[in-house]
Each structure stands twice: as structure tokens, then as C-alpha cells.
Amino acid sequence: MTGSPHVHVGNTSVAAVMAKVMAALIPGTIAHAWFFGPGIWVSLLLCGLFALVLEALLLRLRGLPLKPFLGDGSVLLTAWLLALSLPTLAPWWLYLIGTLFAVVVAKHLYGGLGQNLFNPAMVGYAALIIGFPAYMTLWPGPIGAVDHSLTLWEAFDLVFAGQGAVSHDAVTAATALDTWRTQTRLGTPVDDILTRPMFGWIGARGHEIVAAMYLLGGLLLLSARVITWHIPVAFLAGIVLTSGALHLIDPAAHADPLFHLFSGAAMLGAFFIATDPVTAASTPRGKLIYAGLAGFLVVVIRTWGAYPDGVAFAVLLMNACVPFIDDYTHPRVFGHKRASKP
Amino acid sequence: MSRRLFPFHGGVHPEPHKRESNTTPIRAMPLLPRYVVPMRQHIGEPARPTVHVGDHVLRGQIIGEAQGYVSTAVHAPTSGRVVALEPRPAAHPSGLYDLAVVIEADGDDRAVAFQPLDWRNMDASALRNRVRDLGVAGLGGAVFPSYVKLNPGAQRIHTLIVNGAECEPWITCDDRLMRERAGETLRGIAIMRHCLAAERVLIGIEDNKPEAIAAMRAALAALDADDARGVEIVAVPSIYPAGGGKQLTYLLTGLETPSGGRSTDLGIQVFNVGTAYALWRAVELGEPLISRVVTVTGHVAAPGNFEARLGTPLVDLIAAAGGELPGATGQIVGGPMMGFDLMDDAAPVTKAVNCVIVKNATLFPPRAPDLPCIRCDACARACPVVLQPFDLYWYSRAKDFGRAQSYHLFDCIECGCCSYVCPSHIPLVDYFRYAKSEIWQREREKLAADQARQRHEFKTFRLEREKREKAEKFAKAAEKTKAAAGAPVDADAERKQALLKAAMERAQKAKEAVQPKNVDNLPPAVQREIDEIEARRAAARDAAEHPADAGADK
Amino acid sequence: MLSAILVMAGIGLVLGGILGWASIRYRVQDDPLVEKIDAILPQTQCGQCGYPGCKPYAEAISKGEADINLCPPGGEDGVRRLAELLGVEPKPLSDDAGPKPRSVAVIDENLCIGCTLCIQACPVDAIVGAAKQMHVIVADQCTGCELCLPPCPVDCISMQVIKEDVTNWKWRYPVHMMKRVA
């Protein structure tokens, strides 16, 4: 027996939500392919394939129906986000391990869709960067910064055979975030660092355009009401305020906020990763706290941490705080004097 | 004319579907051969039947009187004979039967003499008692007895809000009522305002009913200056659930009804427009509440609004609207957001029934299977009470009722906005209703257990006290009889024993005299079984009759 | 090595002493466990557990004399809650007749001889009447314990299941569509 309501808004479903998010990722992904070569198509394909197979396997093992869960698109989105955050020219098994951690460990071992505490894509990323740091530097350089622009077949070769007509060295390059960190620690003058080929107009060359496309996609999500403004705004504000303060204190050691926003995964994180509803805070105030602190952690990890980017660890750390944050930020219920912690 | 409004949190915009039924005038129903009038048509205690099977009743005659404070009377919808007084299918989500008076119409439709009331010069309490006996209850859906709400009590009511929002999709009974009977409705409002001594009256109507707003404004202009003073008709934005009492109050005044409280705590009383019209009929014409306007819409041949007598079987009401079209998949009583599936279309129109929607598979597709909650907070954004439905769902589903309650489960108004927007198609409101009724049940059980414990403890205490007192008495008596020698014969006890035995024999005879039913022509196996049982019973009686127990000499 | 052992032993002694003192100093006078157990028991006072009422059974449980699965009116749910409270594994009811529907006793007015035996048996004083007068059971107070059935010499008391009506009807647990598919 089911009671009221007898109608449903109709145009929404988990699959529709996921599809909208994936659609919003398209501009950024195309820009990624444009600037960093076709390797992204290979890694996307691999992650997507592995994810679907692992999801199907796990659903079967757990005795759950395949169709509604494979059809909801959530695992594809996870794979997509993972592929976008991984270097694109790593060996194929790296994508398998990353997807394994994302889908099996982070998602299904926690109970599947809606039950996971940590963002699956970020768990996959974190597992790889801890386990295989060397392979995680195999980022292709942006066009203009490396001598050789890769073809799709060369990318396949690199991923599956490890080498081919071109070697990794010819097409990969240190990222701007990495360069900034190592060079400032070596005491290289800022002006000198910024002239290096991996730096662009305001952020990292290539990455800044990709980030702008993520921003565009994020704005589309906002206008489609798939996400609310709280998390992206607080996340970016956390980055800007923290990096701005550091930059004011010591411009020679700390990059300006624009560089932070338009390099690495800041925009991807703000609109697509921190906003994952399952693992993000859900109350309006909670979202602000959660994302603001995540933004703060991004800059802290980028500045003092050992890892190339801070988005994954910042988001994962804040994921762990979500139940606590949510519990203390319940909004005031209509007719109650004040918000009360239950 | 623009008043500042205070939009409430959340809300949704379901397809209105008002055009289907609001373009034709209210139609009268033909007299039916039979009416089924439930005694429980309002919140509170059901009415107590005052007629018996075989009685002849007139239209408007009381057939059930109010019992208790929160209760109101029920009247015969037409003249005829009472043919049954028994549980009948009720318009209730459970589909259970409830006590009803079944009246077979004699076709004359003769009425009792109606006495208009001189309400302006009447004692307030007497007027309220008359309203109770005239059976007026809130027609917006909550069916709270109106006479109770017309008593301002210790609270000073400064504002009377009249709810003409009608925010539920499909329903247009208030819309048509305001268009066609605006003057009467406004005069009913004047009576309410007189009872409550409220200085201002805000009539909230959703702006998707421009004709109703225009009709009401025209009628207001034509009203006596005295009655029209301080009355304002406010067009409110069309957003569901603007017609919720607390939501409309907030929308119009910016005041939040306290959790667990009533709007009267704020000096505000809320009535539905339909109730105002019913009150006008009751007070100015002296006619009890025996009919109401009901929308019949959806998958029927001729949707529209009907003036239906209370007790009209819904199947007849649907037939009056041209009947169900082929492909009908059931009926909803009430609106699609808060109404319930009708289990049996023999259930009658009551004071609470404002709409019947006949479903089909395209208008009301079956619910999609639910997926796990992804905490997308769409429900929280839609909740007009600012709850976090995904949390409530989590705890209700896990049957963690304590936590659900501490997350303010009981502030939920079951408006359905959360389920409406849920991308996972989770029937959230079903979980909340389940959790609420479990909590109520547990509270009832707890209360009963507490009472039982107290009563048991008292009984134990009493028995001990009696024993002690008896022992003391016996000791005293023993002292006295020490002097006077000789053993007294306990003739009294013997006499009691004999009386008990005689009584038991009488009872035995009485029992034998009671002829068991349905025992003719039984197959031998069953007969044998019965004989065995009888034998066992006889043995048990024997044992009971000749016990050496102390029970008899007490 | 020796000093380490001595230090550890010393810490152990001091902490042990503090704990011992605290357990005496802050001892809870009245044993609230009995109250907590009693609060879970359904208070039917039926004695099916072998004790003369719910409170004595609660006391027996708290002393470890009685098992937690002796209360049929409390049902599986009651056993589960007792197990939770006491931190033990729930076990099936000893009398596996299954939960009985909630019932009340009703006296057949034609047969009652007014012997008062049932009045004495009723643990919650839910039967009113006097000697040689017809007795009646106050349905609201009846716990359905059935203790009045055996003493009645004329078998005039029967148990009637409380039927569901619109006042005590409950919303059911929503059907989980996903499970059905699986």
C-alpha cells in the first residue's frame, strides 16, 4: 500500500541527475583532450569499462538487481571523475586499481549507492597517489609546452605497452603546481618560475582553460538546480581567502589566488567533486562549513603537503567530518524558536 | 491593494489540472434511494447515534448527537427510514468499516423546520451550541468541529484568516464556491468574525483563481460596510502547499505557528471558505450541514463540482459525473498530494471529502521503483517546514523512532513535497506516516502499561493491607474469645458454600438451555470432536465445583 | 628493568585504588536495572513467566535468576529490547506459540453467577462487581493476561481479539520495491 502523494515531478531520477552532471563535464573533458592530447579518451574508456564491470560484479555478489543500479549512471560518473583526475598516460592497470578502490572499496564495501562515506573517485585517486606516486606524475604536457603532440594510437601504445614510438619523457611534463612548489622551495624567483612553459596567463597552461570549462559546466549545473551555490562558492572562497592571505604575507613563496583557482583540480573539485551529494554535507550551513574548510585544506596541502594537488585529500578529510557537521547545523524548523541539535 | 507577503520555505509546483473541473457550474445531485451516513465525519469523538433501525427521519433531523467537547452532530440528508445501523465502508485510507446510519429515502425529501438564528443579538455560547448541533465542521479537510474554533476562549483573536487558497491540484470545489456563492461565503465570514471579535479578516486565494478573486472582491464591495470593514482579499502566489493552515498564516502575516501549538497562540484563527459558507447556511437559514461541494474529476466523462449530500456513496457521485471512462485505475479521495486511495467506492461522501479523482495510467502512472537515497537534499529544499526529510527517512526506515522524533518528525505536515521531488522515488511520506503511527501506538501501549503497573501495585498493596487488618482483627477476636470457652460453629461459611453451589447449578441449567447453533447435520468427525470438548468442559466444571479452595470462605 | 616493573605496578595499584574507591563512593543505591527491565515488560501481570507479576520477573532477570525469553506478551520485540538493555544475545521465546493478538476478556452476562473469583484473580483490578451481582470487565484496563479464565466456575469468560478499526489502525511499513526485484 502506498499513500500520498500520488504524483511525482516526473522529470527527475537518480539517472537524470547523474546524466546532467556528466553532461556538464563534457566541455571540460573536450578542453582537456584539446590541451593534453587524446590520452584522456583512453583513460576515460578504461575507467568506464572497469567501473561497469566491477559494479556489475559487485551487484551480482550482493544479490542486487543489475538494471536499476547500472542504469542510474552513478558508477559512470565516478569513473569519469576518476579519469579526469588521473594522469592520462599511466599504464592501464593503474586505472584498474584506481577504479577498484573507487567502486569496490569506497562504494560497495560501504553499502553501495548512497551509503558511502567517502567520495569514491577521490578514494581511487588517493589510493593511487599513495601506492604509485611515480606513475601519478605521467601527466602529458599541454600543447606548446612539450615538443610532441600525441596521437590517439600513440596514447594507446603508452597505456598498454608502456612505450612505443614515443617515450613518456617526450610527452609528459611536470605540472605547474609541482613546478611552483619545487622551485619556490629551491628559492627560484617568482618571475623566473612564471616564465616556464607550463604556466599560462593566470594559472597553469592548458589547465586554466580546462578549469574555465569546468566552471562553465558548474554554472550549468547551478542553473539546472542540480547543485546549490553553497558548496562551490564556499569551496572557492576557502581557496581564495586562504591563498590570498598567504600571498599577501609572502608573495615570493605563495602563488596568488587566481593561480590556485585555475590550476590543478580546484574548479573540478568545487563543482563536481565536493558537490557529490552522498558524501557532502546536506544542510545549508553545513555545506558552507564543509566546503569552506575543504577549500582551506586544498591550499594548505598544496603549500605544505607532499602531494601534487590537495583537492582529493581535502575533500576526503572533510567527507569524514560530514556526519558531525550535518548533526550540528540542522536548520531551524518552522515553528521552532531556534535550531536545536537533536 | 498589495499586501506584503512572506513566502515560506520550499514548496513545489505540481501540474494544477484545475481547468478540467472548474469551467462548469456546481451541479446538484439527484435524490438517491439510499444514503450511508457515518457517525465519524469529524476529528474528535464520533457522534452518538440517536435513531434506531426502523425509525422514520426527516431531512436535517439529528441522527447522531455530539458526544464530548470535540465533536459535532450528524443529520439525516433526506427524509426516509433508517434501515441499518452498522459498520459500513468508510472513506478512510485503511478501507476499514465504521459505524454508519443507512437511510432509505422515501422520495418526499421532507425537511424539519429550519430556524434561522439572530446571530448578531444572540448569546455567544448559545450560538456556538447551536452551531455544534447544526453539525458544522471544517470543510477544508481537517474537519475540526467549528463551534470549538469559534470560541476565542482566553486568547484574543485579532486576525481571522479565511483559506481559499485551494493549493492542491485538481480540486476546484472552493474555487467554484467562491465564484458562485461569494456573497453567502462573505456573510458566513462575517458570522465567524463576530464570534471571534477579530478586527481584521484576510482571505487568501491563490492567484491561479482570478475569477474567484474577482467574484469575492465584487461581493465584498456589495457587502454591508460594517461587515466589510477590515476584510481584505489577498491574492497569494500559487505554490503548493500555500493552502496549509500554518503556511497560509505565515504567508499572510509572517508569523510562525509554534511547533505543537495552534495558530490561536498567535491570536489568529483559520477557517476554510467552504466552512464559512456552511456556517452561513447553518446560522442564517438554520439548515444543518447535510451537503457540501465535492469535485469529481480525472478520468470521468463529465468532470465538475457537485452539491452532494453527506452520505452519498462515492460510486453514485462518480456516476453523476458521467461515470468512469474505460481504463480507470482507481480513485483518490482528496487531492493527489495528500489524498488517499479509495479502497471501496461504496464509501460515502463525508464532511471531509472535498474531491474524488478517478485515476488512469497516464495521469497517475504507477510509482517508479525506489532507489537508495543519495542525500541530494532536494527534499529538504522542497520542505515547507524546513525539515531534513532524508534524515527522517533514514531513521524511520531503520525504525529508530526516538531519533526520528528528535529530528522533529511531528512537525511534518505530510504535504508530500519531499516525495514529489525525490529523484530516487522514495515514498518518504509513507515512511513518516508509518513512524508516526508506530510512535502513537507505542505511546498508547506505554500509557496502558503504566496504568496496569500502577493498578497491579495498588492491588498488591491492598491485598497486603487486608491481610494485615484481618490478622489484627483475628488476634483481637481470639483474645476476646479466650475468656469465653467453646468453639463457635462456622455456620456462616457453610451457608455461603451452599449458596454458591446452588448458583452454579442454576448457571449450569442456563447454559444447557442456551441451544448451541449450527450443530444440526454435522459430520460424525466434527460431532465427535464437539463431544470430546464437552466432556473436557464437564470435567473442568467438576473440578471447579468441588475444590477444597479457600475462595469460598472469604 | 626492575624500575620499569615497579613503576607499572605502582601505576596499576594507584589506578586500581582510585577505581575501587570510586565504585564504593559513587555506588548507585537503588538498583535502577530492575526499573529499566520493568519498563520494557508489558505489564500484563499475567505470570506466564513463572513469577507473580512483571516486577518480580524483572527482579529475577536483574539477579540473573531468570532468562529474558519467558515473556510471551512482550513478544520477540520485548526479548530484543531486553537483550539490548542487558547486552546479551536475544533468543527466541521459550514458548514458541508465537505472539498472540491483543485481546480483552469479556464476561458472558447470561452465565455469570457473581462468584467474585475472577475479581480476585485479576491482577490489575479490571473486573468490577460484587458477590451475587453480575461482573463486568473494564475493557480499557484489561491487559489480556487470561488469569481470570481458569478460576471461573461457569466458564463465562472468553477472550476477544481487539479488532482493528479506524481509531487504532496503523500505517504499514512501506514496501521496499528494490528488495522485491532482487
**Residue B421's pLDDT is what?**
94
**Shortest Cα distance from A63 to chain C (angstroms)?**
7
Residue B495 inside a domain? The answer is no
Give the whole-angstrom CA distance, residue C120 versus residue B414: 48
**Residue C75's pLDDT is what?**
78
What value does the mean pLDDT take over residues A188-202?
A: 80
**Residue C90's pLDDT is what?**
80
C-beta separation of B378 from A228 below 8 A: no
C-beta separation of A56 from A102 below 8 A: no
What value does the mean pLDDT take over residues B78-87?
A: 94
Q: Are residues B197 and B64 in the same domain?
A: yes
**Residue B554's pLDDT is what?**
37
**Residue B546's pLDDT is what?**
59
pLDDT at residue C127 greater than cutoff 50: yes
Q: Are residues B314 and B433 in the same domain?
A: no
Give the whole-angstrom CA distance, residue A83 versus residue A79: 6
Stretch among B22-36, B189-203, B435-449, B505-519 having the lowest mean pLDDT: B505-519
pLDDT tier for residue B446 given thresholds of 50, 70 and 90: confident
B236: phi then psi, degrees, rounded to nearest 5 = -110, 150
**Residue B553's pLDDT is what?**
41
pLDDT at residue B117 greater than cutoff 70: yes
Give the whole-angstrom CA distance, residue B186 versus residue C181: 55
Q: Regarding predicted confidence, which is higher, B80 or B529?
A: B80
Q: Are residues B304 and B375 in the same domain?
A: no
**Residue C72's pLDDT is what?**
81
Residue of chain C with shortest Cα separation from B43: C167
pLDDT tier for residue C181 given thresholds of 50, 70 and 90: very low
Q: Regarding predicted confidence, which is higher, B141 or B42?
A: B42
Q: Angle A230-249/A284-304 helices, nearest 10 degrees? A: 40
Stretch among A138-152, A248-262, B137-151, C8-22 having the lowest mean pLDDT: A138-152
What pLDDT digit, counting tens, does each position of B244-271 carry? 999 999 999 999 999 988 999 999 999 9
Report helix, strand and coil shares of chain A as percent, to nearest 5: 65, 0, 35
- The minimal CB distance from B500 to the residues C44, C115, C120 is found for C115
Q: Which residue ranges does chain C devote to CATH 3.30.70.20?
A: 101-165
C-beta separation of C37 from C62 below 8 A: yes
**Residue B552's pLDDT is what?**
39
Residue B500 inside a domain? The answer is no
- The minimal CB distance from B259 to the residues A69, A280, A333 is found for A333
DSSP C83-115: HHHHTS-----SSTT-PPPPEEEEE-TTT----
pLDDT at residue C109 greater than cutoff 90: no
Residue B92 inside a domain? The answer is yes
C-beta separation of B75 from B135 below 8 A: yes
Q: Please state, rounded to an integer, the average pLDDT across all residues of chain C.
A: 83
Q: Are residues B441 and B305 in the same domain?
A: no
Q: Are residues B305 and B427 in the same domain?
A: no
What value does the mean pLDDT take over residues B494-517?
A: 72
Q: Angle A120-131/A92-99 helices, nearest 10 degrees? A: 130
Mutate to test the interface with C, among B431, B455, B533 (most CBs of C within 10 A): B455
Residue B440 inside a domain? The answer is yes
Residue of chain C with shortest Cα separation from B458: C124
**Residue B519's pLDDT is what?**
53
Q: Are residues B311 and B223 in the same domain?
A: yes
Q: Which residue ranges does chain C devote to CATH 1.10.15.40?
A: 32-86
pLDDT at residue B513 greater than cutoff 90: no
Residue B78 inside a domain? The answer is yes
Q: Which ipTM did the prediction report?
A: 0.89
Chain A contacts to C (CB-CB under 8 A): 1-3, 63-65, 68
Mutate to test the interface with A, among C170, C171, C180, C181 (most CBs of A within 10 A): C181
Domain final position from B296, B320, B344: B320
**Residue A210's pLDDT is what?**
92
Residue of chain A with shortest Cα separation from B410: A333
The CATH T-level fold of domain C101-165 is Alpha-Beta Plaits (3.30.70)
Q: Are residues B175 and B288 in the same domain?
A: yes
Residue of chain B with shortest Cα separation from C133: B503
Residue B310 inside a domain? The answer is yes
Cβ contact, residue pair A68, C181, below 8 Å:
yes
Domain final position from B464, B485, B513: B464
Stretch among A169-178, B150-159, B235-244, B513-522 having the lowest mean pLDDT: B513-522
- The minimal CB distance from B9 to the residues A4, A334, A336 is found for A334
Cβ contact, residue pair A8, B425, below 8 Å:
yes
pLDDT at residue C6 greater than cutoff 80: yes
Residue of chain C with shortest Cα separation from A64: C182
Element spanning B233, H or E: strand B231-236
- The minimal CB distance from C174 to the residues A2, A65, A68 is found for A2
What pLDDT digit, counting tens, does each position of B309-364 carry? 999 999 999 999 999 999 999 999 999 999 999 999 999 999 999 999 999 999 99
Q: Please state, rounded to an integer, the average pLDDT across all residues of chain A.
A: 88
Stretch among A183-192, A221-230, A297-306, C54-63 having the lowest mean pLDDT: A183-192
Cβ contact, residue pair B427, C174, below 8 Å:
yes
Sign of CA dihedral B45, B47, B50, B55: negative
Output the pTM of the full model: 0.84
Residue B528 inside a domain? The answer is no
Cβ contact, residue pair C169, B94, below 8 Å:
yes
CATH number of C32-86: 1.10.15.40
pLDDT at residue B177 greater than cutoff 90: yes
Cβ contact, residue pair C182, A63, below 8 Å:
yes
pLDDT at residue B108 greater than cutoff 70: yes
pLDDT tier for residue A163 given thresholds of 50, 70 and 90: low
CATH number at residue B238: 3.40.50.11540
Give the whole-angstrom CA distance, residue B12 versus residue B242: 10
Give the whole-angstrom CA distance, residue A157 versus residue A37: 14
The total of structural domains in chain B comes to 2
**Residue B286's pLDDT is what?**
93
Q: What percent of chain C has pLDDT over 90?
A: 10
pLDDT at residue A265 greater than cutoff 50: yes
**Residue B422's pLDDT is what?**
94
Residue B469 inside a domain? The answer is no
Chain A partners of C172 at a C-beta cutoff of 8 Å? 1
Query: Subunits touching C (CB < 8 Å, at least 3 pairs)?
Result: A, B
**Shortest Cα distance from B514 to chain C (angstroms)?**
10
Residue range of the domain that includes B386: 368-464
Cβ contact, residue pair A1, C175, below 8 Å:
yes
Q: Are residues B80 and B188 in the same domain?
A: yes
Answer whether A114 touches B (CB < 8 Å).
Answer: yes
Residue of chain C with shortest Cα separation from B454: C124
Answer whether C169 touches A (CB < 8 Å).
Answer: no
pLDDT at residue A170 greater than cutoff 60: yes
